[in-house]
Amino acid sequence: MGIERVNIFIDGGNFYHLALRKLGSSESNFDFEKFAAFLANGRKIVEMGKRFYIGTVMEKLGDKRSIEAMSRQTALFTKLKDNHWETRTSKLRKRLEEVKIDERVVDYKKLLQKGVEKIQYERLREKGIDVKLATDLIVGAVDDKYDVAIVVSSDADIVPAIDWVRNRKHKKIEYIGFSIKDDKDDKKSTTPSLTLMARTDIQRILVASDLKPFIIEGLL
Please report, for the chain, the start and end positions of each structural domain, with discontinuous segments joined by +: 5-91+126-214
Q: What is the pLDDT along the chain (220 residues), one digit of tens a residue?
A: 589 999 999 999 999 999 999 999 999 999 999 999 999 999 999 999 999 999 887 666 667 777 888 888 999 999 999 999 999 998 655 555 567 778 776 677 887 787 777 776 445 455 578 999 999 999 999 999 999 999 999 999 999 999 999 999 999 999 999 999 988 788 889 999 999 999 999 999 999 999 999 999 765 4
> How far is the C-alpha of 148 from the C-alpha of 171, rounded, in Å?
6
DSSP letter string, 124-181? EEE-SHHHHHHHHHHHHHHTT--SEEEEE---GGGHHHHHHHHHHH--EEEEEEE-B-
52 bridge partner residues = 10, 87
Q: Is the pTM of this model over 0.75?
A: yes
Position 149: which residue type? Answer: A
* Domain 5-91+126-214 annotated CATH 3.30.70.20: no
